[in-house]
C-alpha cells in the first residue's frame, strides 16, 4: 500500500514547516534559550501544521541533545517520534472529539503524575481541544495550572474561543494561519519533482484552490490526481474532470460574451456547462472568483509578481485583455450580481434557471438606477472621451444630428462662378452640390443578407477566443490598424461577415477604410482560414445608428429636392440646428450627476 503524500512529507523539524514562520521562529528561540512553558495552545485552520508542530516540539524537548530547536534525528527519542516512527510511551496523543468527557479528564489527571519512562518530558498532545466538555476542562484546571516539572501540555484546536478561558489563560497561545498560495505552490512543485511526476502548469493552481490554504488538503488532492494519472503525467483536462471544477475556457467564453454584450454566446456557455455535467452553483462560484481576479489585475497589473494572483502565462494574457475591456466599475457590478445570484441559489431546485437569470441581469448594464449601474455608465463615458481625445480633430466626423448651418443667400445674390475659378469654389457656391455628411467607404455600407450558417462553424464567441492571434497578424502588417483594433469588439458573425463594434463614430470611420479592413480579412484567412467580409458599426446608444445601417441614410443618398441647404457643413458656423436628438442614457446620467441629483432620481431609460 502506498503511503499517502501528507504522511510521507510530514515535517520532521521546525525548518520543514512551511508558511508558519511566525510560530516556528519564536518556538525555536524559546527552545534555544531554555524557556520552556508547561502548556501551549496551537490554534488555526485544519491541515496547517498544528499537530505536526506539537510532535516536533515533543521531539525537540526529548532529544538527547535537547531541549534543542534542531533535533539530531538519530537518538532513540528522535527515531521514535519521527513522522514514520513507532511513537513513544512518554508522548501521548488524545483525540478530544471522542475522549473529552469528565471521566477521560480524571483518568488523564491520575496518569499525569507518573514520571516519564525513558524521556526528559512527558508530553500530552490534546487534539480538537475545543471538544473537551466544561466539566472535563474543570477537572484538568488544577493540573494545567500547577503541573509536575516533567509534564507539558499542548492543546491543538480549530476553535480557540471554545477552550475554557481559565485554561486558555494558562497557556502560551500560538495562532497558525492558512498557507499563502505562492508558498503552497512551491511546496507542491518540490513534491512533484521528488515523486518524478510530470504535472501541467495549469494543474497546480487548481490543487492550491482545492486545498484552500491547507497543506494536508492540498497534498490529498495532489495524491488523488497522481494516483489516477496516465503515464505522461497529470493533465489539465484530467484534473478538471476529476475535481469537478469549471474549465477556464468556459469562464473565458462567459467573460468575453459579457464584454461584447453577446447574449447568445452567454446562454450557449450556460448550456455547455449544464451539458458537461457541471453544477451551475459551482460555475457561478468560479465565475465570481474569475471576476475577482480581473478586478485585482485591473488595480494591480503586476499582481502575479506580487503574489496576489496565480494563473498560467497564456491565461494571464487573456485575463489582462478582459480586465481592460470591462473596466473596474463593470467588473464590480458583475461581481455583485453573481454574488447575489449565489445567495439565491442556496437550496433552489432550479439552479440553471437562476444562473440564466443572473446572466440576463449582467447583460443589461443600464437596467435600474442603482449607483453601480450609474458608475458603469460614467466609466463608459470616460473611456469614450479618452478614445475620442486621442483622434486628431481633422479626422473626426460629425455625429448624426450634429449638422451645422451656413448662411443661405437668395438665389439672386449668388454670384456666378468665374470661368477660370477653381472647381472647389464652384462647388461651394452651389448648395445642392455639397454633401451633408461624409460618405462611408464601400466596405462599410450595409452588407448582403446573412447566410444561413456561419462559414467554418465559427460564431462570435469562437472568434473572440482567437482574436488575440488575429491582432498579432494584423500588427505585423500595420501598427496603425492594430491600434484601431485595440478599441474594437467582436460583436457577432453574421453569415460570412464579421461585425466589429467601436465606441465612437470617428474611430469607426477610420477603421472602415478599405486598407484597414483588407488587413483584417487577410489575418482572418491566415488564422482561421475563412474569407469573410468585415463590417464596422458604432456601439448601440453611443453615437447614433450603426455605421452602414439602412435606418440612417446620409443626405448624400437623398434626392436633390430633399436636401436642406441648412444641413451643409460650413467652417464659418459651428452651431447645431434642427430638432434636438435623443440623448444618450450615459450622457443623461452624467449630466444629472453634475447637476447634483441623487442616483435614485435618474431615469435609466433616457429622456427627450
| CB 5 within 8 Å of CB 191 | yes
Q: Is the pLDDT of residue 597 over 60?
A: no
Residues β-bridged to residue 124: 92, 153
Task: List pLDDT tens digits, range 211-243.
Answer: 888 899 999 999 999 888 888 888 888 888 888
Q: What are phi and psi of 52, to 5 degrees?
A: -65, -40
Residues β-bridged to residue 493: 498
Averaged pLDDT for residues 579-605:
44
In the three-class reduction of DSSP (H, G, I as helix; E, B as strand; rest coil), residue 491 is classed as strand
Domains for the chain: give ranges and CATH numbers.
Answer: 5-175 (3.40.50.300), 181-243 (1.10.8.60), 248-371 (1.20.272.10), 441-545 (3.30.300.180)
Q: Is the pLDDT of residue 424 over 70?
A: no
Q: Tell me, what's the pLDDT at 55?
A: 93
Q: Is the pLDDT of residue 339 over 90?
A: yes
Task: List pLDDT tens digits, range 15-33.
Answer: 999 989 999 999 999 999 9
Averaged pLDDT for residues 423-449:
39
Q: What is the DSSP letter of 98?
A: T
CA distance 205 to 211: 10
In the three-class reduction of DSSP (H, G, I as helix; E, B as strand; rest coil), residue 502 is classed as strand
CA neighbor of 500 nearest in space, from 514, 479, 484, 515: 484
Residue 260 pLDDT class (50, 70, 90 cuts): confident
Q: Is the pLDDT of residue 557 over 50?
A: no
Burial class (CB in 10 A: 0-12, 13-18, 19+), 605: exposed
Task: List pLDDT tens digits, range 392-412.
Answer: 444 444 444 444 444 444 444
Q: Tell me, what's the pLDDT at 366?
A: 52
**Measured between alpha carbons, how far is residue 585 from residues 149, 325, 389, 588, 606 in Å?**
78, 20, 21, 5, 5
Task: List pLDDT tens digits, range 561-578.
Answer: 333 333 333 333 333 333
Q: Which three cell numbers stand for residue 434?
A: 455639397
- Could you tell me the sign of the dihedral formed by the alpha carbons of 474, 480, 483, 488, in that order? negative
Where helices occur in 212-262 by DSSP H, the ranges are 215-227, 236-243, 248-260
Q: What average pLDDT does the structure give for the chain?
A: 76
Q: DSSP readout, 432-472?
A: GGS-SSPPPPGGGSPPPPPPSS-GGG--HHHHHHHHHHHHH
The answer to whether the predicted template modeling score (pTM) of the entire model surpasses 0.95 is no
Residue 256 pLDDT class (50, 70, 90 cuts): confident
Q: Tell me, what's the pLDDT at 572?
A: 35
Task: List pLDDT tens digits, range 345-394.
Answer: 888 888 899 999 999 988 876 545 566 666 666 666 665 555 445 444 44
Burial class (CB in 10 A: 0-12, 13-18, 19+), 165: exposed
Q: Is the pLDDT of residue 132 over 70?
A: yes
Mean pLDDT lowest for which of 87-91, 285-289, 446-450, 476-480?
Answer: 446-450
Give the number of other Cβ atoms within 10 Å of residue 68's Cβ. 16
Q: What are phi and psi of 265, to 5 degrees?
A: -65, -35
Q: What is the DSSP letter of 583?
A: P
| CB 531 within 8 Å of CB 495 | no
Q: Is the pLDDT of residue 247 over 90?
A: no
Mean pLDDT lowest for which of 94-103, 312-321, 417-426, 525-534?
Answer: 417-426
Q: Is the pLDDT of residue 252 over 80?
A: yes
CA distance 48 to 460: 46
| CB 541 within 8 Å of CB 381 | no
* Residue 47 CA, distance from chain mean position: 26
122-127, strands of its sheet edge to edge: 91-95, 122-127, 151-157, 39-43, 172-175
Burial class (CB in 10 A: 0-12, 13-18, 19+), 428: middle
Name the helix (H) or strand (E) containing 174: strand 172-175
Q: Is the pLDDT of residue 519 over 70?
A: yes
CA neighbor of 143 nearest in space, from 272, 284, 47, 39: 39
In the three-class reduction of DSSP (H, G, I as helix; E, B as strand; rest coil), residue 379 is classed as helix
In 3-state terms, the chain is what percent helix, strand and coil (to 5)? Answer: 50, 10, 40
Span between the terminal Cα atoms of the chain, in Å: 77
Amino acid at each position: 500500500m502506498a503511503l499517502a503524500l501528507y504522511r510521507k512529507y510530514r515535517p520532521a523539524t521546525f525548518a520543514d514547516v512551511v508558511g508558519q514562520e511566525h510560530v516556528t521562529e519564536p518556538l525555536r528561540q524559546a527552545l534555544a534559550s531554555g524557556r520552556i512553558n508547561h502548556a501551549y495552545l496551537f490554534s488555526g485552520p485544519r491541515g496547517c501544521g498544528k499537530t505536526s508542530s506539537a510532535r516536533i516540539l515533543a521531539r525537540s524537548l526529548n532529544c538527547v541533545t535537547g531541549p534543542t530547536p534542531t533535533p539530531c534525528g538519530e537518538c532513540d527519542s528522535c527515531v521514535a517520534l519521527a513522522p514514520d516512527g513507532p511513537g513513544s510511551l512518554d508522548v501521548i496523543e488524545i483525540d478530544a472529539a471522542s475522549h473529552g468527557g469528565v471521566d477521560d479528564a480524571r483518568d488523564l489527571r491520575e496518569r499525569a503524575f507518573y514520571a516519564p519512562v525513558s524521556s526528559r518530558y512527558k508530553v500530552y498532545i490534546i487534539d480538537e481541544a475545543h471538544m473537551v466538555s466544561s466539566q472535563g476542562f474543570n477537572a484538568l484546571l488544577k493540573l494545567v495550572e500547577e503541573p509536575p516539572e516533567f509534564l507539558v501540555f499542548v492543546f491543538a484546536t480549530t476553535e480557540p474561543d471554545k477552550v475554557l478561558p481559565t485554561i486558555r489563560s494558562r497557556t502560551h497561545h500560538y495562532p497558525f494561519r492558512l498557507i499563502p498560495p505562492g508558498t503552497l505552490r512551491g511546496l507542491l512543485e518540490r513534491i512533484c519533482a521528488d515523486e518524478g511526476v510530470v504535472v501541467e502548469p495549469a494543474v497546480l493552481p487548481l490543487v492550491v484552490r482545492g486545498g484552500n490554504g491547507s497543506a494536508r488538503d492540498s497534498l490529498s488532492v495532489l495524491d488523488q490526481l497522481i494516483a489516477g494519472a496516465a503515464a505522461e503525467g497529470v493533465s489539465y483536462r484530467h484534473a478538471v474532470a476529476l475535481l469537478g471544477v469549471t474549465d477556464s475556457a468556459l469562464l473565458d467564453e462567459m467573460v468575453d460574451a459579457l464584454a461584447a454584450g453577446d447574449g447568445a454566446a452567454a446562454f450557449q456557455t450556460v448550456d455547455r456547462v449544464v451539458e458537461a455535467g457541471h453544477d451551475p452553483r459551482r460555475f457561478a462560484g468560479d465565475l465570481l472568483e474569475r471576476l475577482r481576479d480581473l478586478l485585482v489585475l485591473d488595480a494591480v497589473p503586476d499582481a502575479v509578481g506580487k503574489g496576489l494572483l496565480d494563473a498560467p502565462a497564456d491565461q494571464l494574457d487573456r485575463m489582462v485583455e478582459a480586465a481592460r475591456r470591462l473596466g473596474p466599475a463593470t467588473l464590480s457590478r458583475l461581481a455583485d450580481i453573481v454574488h447575489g445570484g449565489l445567495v439565491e441559489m442556496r437550496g433552489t431546485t432550479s439552479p440553471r434557471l437562476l444562473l440564466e437569470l443572473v446572466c440576463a441581469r449582467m447583460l443589461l448594464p443600464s437596467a435600474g438606477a442603482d449607483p453601480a449601474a450609474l458608475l458603469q455608465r460614467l466609466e463608459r463615458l470616460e473611456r469614450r472621451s479618452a478614445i475620442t481625445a486621442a483622434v486628431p480633430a481633422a479626422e473626426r466626423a460629425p455625429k448624426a444630428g450634429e449638422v451645422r448651418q451656413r448662411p443661405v443667400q437668395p438665389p439672386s445674390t449668388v454670384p456666378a462662378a468665374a470661368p477660370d475659378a477653381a472647381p472647389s469654389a464652384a462647388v461651394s457656391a452651389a448648395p445642392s452640390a455639397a454633401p451633408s455628411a461624409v460618405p462611408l467607404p464601400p466596405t462599410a455600407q450595409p452588407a448582403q443578407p446573412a447566410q444561413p450558417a456561419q462559414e467554418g462553424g465559427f460564431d462570435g464567441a469562437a472568434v473572440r477566443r482567437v482574436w488575440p492571434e488575429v491582432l498579432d497578424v494584423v500588427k505585423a502588417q500595420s501598427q496603425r490598424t492594430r491600434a484601431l483594433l485595440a478599441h474594437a469588439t467582436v460583436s457577432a458573425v453574421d453569415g460570412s461577415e464579421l461585425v466589429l463594434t467601436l465606441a465612437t463614430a470617428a474611430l469607426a470611420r477610420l477603421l472602415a477604410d478599405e486598407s484597414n479592413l483588407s488587413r483584417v480579412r487577410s489575418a482572418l484567412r491566415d488564422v482561421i482560414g475563412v474569407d469573410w467580409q468585415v463590417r464596422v458599426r458604432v456601439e448601440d446608444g453611443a453615437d447614433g445608428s450603426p455605421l452602414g445601417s439602412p435606418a440612417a441614410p446620409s443626405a448624400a443618398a437623398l434626392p436633390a429636392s430633399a436636401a436642406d441647404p441648412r444641413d451643409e457643413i460650413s467652417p464659418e458656423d459651428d452651431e447645431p440646428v434642427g430638432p434636438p436628438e435623443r440623448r444618450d442614457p450615459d450622457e443623461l446620467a452624467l449630466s444629472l450627476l453634475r447637476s447634483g441629483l441623487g442616483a435614485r432620481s435618474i431615469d435609466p431609460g433616457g429622456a427627450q
